[in-house]
Structure 1
Amino acid sequence: MKKRITILEAIITDNKLILETNESINGLIPAEQILVDSTQCSFIYLMEDQEEYTYIVLPETIWPSLKAAQEQELPVKLSTNDDQIELVNFQEELEYIISNIKGNSNYGHEMVTKVEGVFL
């Protein structure tokens, strides 16, 4: 099973979006790809280390902050108390995945409705 790190809070500060977690992100490298978890109604930003992928879970509760950061074209950083990593290509990937979800029943009615409600 892949490691999952759930984002607890998203804060726009100093012209960037900070995605906060209390789990270690040491050694993680951005894989520059966003996936969809239709079952949990969340986005997944992929990161990797030497051995496997780690899923950075972006739950529906932080989507309004993602939308605001998208509108302002802000860089996105994953942050813990002692470390911070820029999520490379985040805005481009988010825009791409949202355009794929729009009106696409393959993602499930609930996911499409929620994404369209926040992002479109």
Structure 2
Amino acid sequence: MKKRITIQKASTTENKLFLETKEPVNGLVPAEQMLVDSVQFSFIYLMENQEDYTYIVFPEQIWPFLKSALEQNIPVLLTFREESIELISFHEELEYLITNIKGNSNYGNEMVTKVEENF
């Protein structure tokens, strides 16, 4: 099973969105791709290292921060203590998923409803 790191806290400072984890992120490289977990109602950003992918999980309570980052077109950074990695292609990937999910029952009616309400 792929390693999953869930975003614990989000904050906007100096026109950047900081997404905090409780686990180290050093050595991870943005894969510039996002997925949807319609069972857990979350978006997933793929990161990779030399061995495998790591899933960065954005639960529903973080979505208002994601929406704001999209609207303001500000950089999104994954952070753990002093470590920080910019999530490349984040806006394009998230916008694509949102557009694809709206009105698309393939993601499950509840996921569609949640995305339509939040975005």
TM-score (norm. length: structure 1): 0.98
Partner of 1:82: 82
For 1:1-120, what aligned pairs fall within 5 Å after superposition?
Answer: 1-119=1-119
Could you tell me which amino acid in structure 1 is paired with residue 77 of structure 2?
K
State the identity %: 69
Listed as ranges, the gaps of 5+ residues in structure 1 are none
Distance 2:111 2:74 in 1: 24
Amino acid at match of 1:39: V
Please report the TM-score for the alignment, with normalisation by the length of structure 2.
Answer: 0.99
RMSD: 0.5
Q: What's the CA shift string for 1:65-113, capped at 9, x where partnerless? A: 1001110001100001020000000001000010000100000001000
Unaligned runs of 5+ in 2: none
2:14 and 2:55 mapped to 1: Cα distance? Answer: 26
Task: State the AA in 1 paired with 2:64.
Answer: P
